[in-house]
Each structure stands twice: as structure tokens, then as C-alpha cells.
Structure 1
Amino acid sequence: MLGRALRLLDAFDAQRRELTLSELARRADMPLSTAHRLMNEFCAWGAVERTDKGLYRIGLRLWELGSLAPRGPGLRETALPFLEDLSLITRENVQLAVREGTEVVFVERIAGSGAVPVLTRVGGRFALTATGVGLVLLAHAPAEVQEEVLGSPIDRFTPKTVTDASQLRRMLADTRAKGFSVSDRQVTMDSLSVGAPIRDRHGEVVAAVSLVVRHGSTTPQALARLVRTSAQTISRALSA
């Protein structure tokens, strides 16, 4: 029963924030009567709520629970002052992300004034192979995670997206050696992203920070110094 309940919650996503009962039942692959009973229980507890039009949406109770996750808001709370400093200095997009399985989850994003548009959003997921933060997190992921990602079909977002596993392996090795990643027009054709690892007190990579700028506006090396400094400062704050 718990699995069915979780499938109902998983039916919501960024494109489907409000759903009818029929849509929920269909997306969760369960009888309408079962979906109705479970959604009533969710409503009573506060996990979901109903709009004036009778649609279901995620409730504040889940947001309250989510705020307790140490890798999400806990990390965000520690990192936010340093992310804001980086944003103030550069006036560019600053992103903070963690790895969840074989995907990136964005914990925070600060949009700079006049910065290049990005496809990411807070709480959203993305491929590990394309973004600056994703390449950092994949480069420092366990070997079995790397093999799973590189052994599966790799999503292409632009003509510049690297989908060759051998080339990606070289990029990951380069990321580990240099201490920063470069994603050049891999997500959109007008963006350049540079990411760096954030480590805990044991030296393990637990998150990544990146700058996303307009392609051609600067060099990866110029961004790398700023991003690595920010990542190191956040790492020290986490360790403290």
C-alpha cells in the first residue's frame, strides 16, 4: 500500500503541478477507487490539497518535511551566503546541486541580472552527463554509478552534447585532475557552465556549485577560479 501511495505523489512533476483524480489514477496505474481513498488520506494529513476547481496539488506538509532533509535545505542554508556572494560578484547564474542516484537534483539557483536563461529549477532533476554540476558529481561518484550512467543511452540536448562514453570518461578524469568541470553548450547553445566539488569534513564530495554564463562572454579558466573558491569556502563551512 505504501508503494501505491508513493506512486500517487510521484505522478506530480514540474509540468503537472495540478491533476484530476482520474489523471492521478492513470499516471499511478491504479484503480480510481484506490486513488480516491488514498488521496482523501493525503488531504486529511496535509500531503496534498484540493483547489477550488477540485484539482489535487502537493500540500505544505510535504514541503515542511522536505525542509528537514540535510542534503537539501540543510546544505542550502549553509551554502546560501556564499552563493549570494558569488552571484553578487559575477551577476551570473549560480547553482547548487546534489546527486540522487543517476541524476542531478538542484537545491538552489540564483539567477543573475541579465544572465543567460537556463533550463534548471530548484527541486528539478537533470542528467549527470551534461551540466557543470552534473559532471562534477559524476566524476566523484562511485564506480558502479559511473558505469551505470555511461553504459546507458546518454541524452542529447544540443549538437554539442557529449554522448560518447569514451569522451565522457576523459572529461570526468580531467574534472578530477583539475578540480573543476566544463560544460560548453551541452545544455543550451548559448550557455557555458563551470562547476566545482563541495566536500564534507571527511573529504567526500557531497554537492557541487557552478556558474552558468553566456557562451563567449568569458573563459572557463576565469570562471574556475571563482567557482573553486566558492566551493572550498562552502566545504569549510560544512566541516565547521
Structure 2
Amino acid sequence: MGEPAPRRETVIGKVVLILRAFTVDRTTLTFSQLHTRTGLPKATLHRVAGDLVHSGLLDRVDGRYRLSGLVFELGMRASVERELLEVALPFLEELREKTRETVHLGVREGTEVVYVAKVGGHRQAASPSRLGGRMPLHATAIGKVLLAHAPAEVRDRVLGAIRTRLAPRTITNVDVLRTQLDAVLEKAVAFEHEESAVGIACVACPVFDAHDTVVGAVSVTGPVTRFHPASHVSAVRAAAAGITAALARRDHDGDTAVPPSGTKPWS
């Protein structure tokens, strides 16, 4: 639901199918596994995979395929995520030191959260998030922030198709979630209580660019046995506000964007 389906009849569509077959959990795949995951005819898959190896987008080692270093290099050139990550890392580290818990930075892709940074806390929590991994927007605090600020068509699409339960307390009631999203817009903070995984709680705040558009969200996560999200709101807001201000300064210094045009909810 989070990504548009590639057009299987085109060469690019076949390439995308193959590249997407690799996940955070499955970084190497056999030809048979690629065939199962892509559904491409074997002859077609063999030809396209061979071309990807020849072009340097895939590596083939001991009969198994994996994404190459070139894919990572190209991914790091994605300007928005790279700039956001470069600016955010000092604030994420500081937030981790203040809270001693796991800190995340996430962005929205379609109807999913993509975690672009995860800084492990001094007291590790068994969070289901993975660096580079994806989660549905409605099931996490970061996701709720991003969903609340998403375009109306994205919000309507998610609210109209909530079926995925990651845990017993995942919110699938549209009215309840809609009320929470309205509160996120009003208070610039979102909470999660065992909705992505049993035993996990989380608090998240939005990060804005110089155009007052939400480009990501920061969160702190911990186990419900000792972690109280409300007590960390100020720290998460401060980190998000710091990243927002740093993005605005960088854009202003580079004359690539106008300064923020409005007062943020926490100002």
C-alpha cells in the first residue's frame, strides 16, 4: 500500500521489481527466491538480473544476489533525506543523551514511514523499527505525525483502508484515529501505546522545512514498564525544533529557500 506498483511490462518496471525484492531482513537472495518474490518469468529474470550485475546495481556472490554499494551511493544522493539526516544527527544524539532511550527519525513514503535514522538508547527497547525499514503510518507515533500533515488524498487513502494490526492495540477505528490526527495538528505531538508492538510506547514531533512543510518526524521510544511518553514531550519538541531551525538556516544561507513563514505550534 505504501509504494506504487511498478509496471511489469516495462524494463524499468522489471528492474524495480527486482530491486524491491530485497528488504532489511532479506539482504541476499537466491535466483529461486528472486523468482518467487518478483513473479517474473525465469528467462526474463535471468536476463534482467544479469544486466543489473553487469551495470553494478547488483552483486552476485556464491550464487546469491545482493544490492551493490552503488545502490547505497545513489541512495545517499537523495537530496532531501541526505540533507535532513546530516542536519538532524547532532540533535538526535543529544536527544538520546537526554532521554537515554532509542531515538528515531522518519520520513513518509506513500502510506508508510521509512526510518532514516535510529540511535540506540543506553537502555535498549525491543522496538520493531529498523534502519531503512518501513511501518504503516497509522501504527506508530512518527507515522501519526506524518499522516496528520500528509496531503488530504493520502490521509483519506489510509483512513479508508486501515486493516493492518501490528499488535493488539493497533488503532483500526477510523473515528479514533481521525481524532488523534486532529490532536496532532493542534498540539504538534503524537503518542503510541503498544500499537506497533506489545510493550512499546513512543512520542513524536514534526520537523518542518523552510516552507513550513513537514519533511520528517523525531521520536523517542521505550518500554511501557518504565517509559512515560508524556514526560519526554519537551525534549522531543526541542530536538524537532532544533532540526527545523537548522534546516531553515541552511536553506537561507544557500539562498535555496525562504525562511519559515509561520510560528510553529511549540513556539
When the two structures are superposed, what TM-score results if normalisation uses the length of structure 1?
A: 0.95
Query: After TM superposition, where is structure 1 displaced by more than 4 Å over at least 4 residues in a row?
Result: none
Tell me if 1:169 matches 2:178.
yes
CA shift for structure 1 position 218: 4.3
**In the alignment, which residue of structure 2 is the partner of 1:35?**
45
Answer whether contact 1:197 1:207 (CA < 8 A) is retained. Answer: yes
Tell me if 1:235 matches 2:219.
no
Tell me if 1:149 matches 2:143.
no
CA shift for structure 1 position 221: 2.5
Instruction: Output the CA distance in 1 between the equivalents of 2:36 and 2:163.
Output: 28
- RMSD over aligned Cα atoms: 1.3
Once the two structures are overlaid, the 10-residue window that deviates more, 6-15 or 174-183, is 6-15
> 1:222 pairs with 231, 242, 245, which one?
231
Residues 101-148 of structure 1: per-residue CA shift (max 9 Å, x gap): 111100000110222111111111101001110010001111111110
Partner amino acid for 2:183? D
Answer whether contact 2:99 2:232 (CA < 8 A) is retained. Answer: no
CA shift for structure 1 position 158: 2.0
Instruction: Output the CA distance in 1 between the equivalents of 2:34 and 2:200.
Output: 36
Answer whether contact 2:24 2:132 (CA < 8 A) is retained. Answer: no
Answer whether contact 1:132 1:193 (CA < 8 A) is retained. Answer: yes
Q: Where in structure 2 are the equivalents of 1:50-199 lying within 5 Å?
A: 50-51=60-61, 53-199=62-208
**In the alignment, which residue of structure 1 is the partner of 2:22?**
12
CA shift for structure 1 position 150: 0.6
Answer whether contact 1:73 1:107 (CA < 8 A) is retained. Answer: no
CA shift for structure 1 position 91: 1.1
Partner amino acid for 2:33? E
Answer whether contact 2:115 2:129 (CA < 8 A) is retained. Answer: yes
CA shift for structure 1 position 23: 2.2
1:226 alignment partner, SS class:
helix
Answer whether contact 1:67 1:74 (CA < 8 A) is retained. Answer: no
Instruction: Output the CA distance in 1 between the equivalents of 2:115 and 2:227.
Output: 24
Aligned pair count reads 239
Identity %: 38
Instruction: Output the CA distance in 2 between the equivalents of 1:140 and 1:39.
Output: 39
What residue ranges of structure 2 are gaps of 5+ in the alignment?
A: 1-10, 250-267
**In the alignment, which residue of structure 1 is the partner of 2:216?**
207
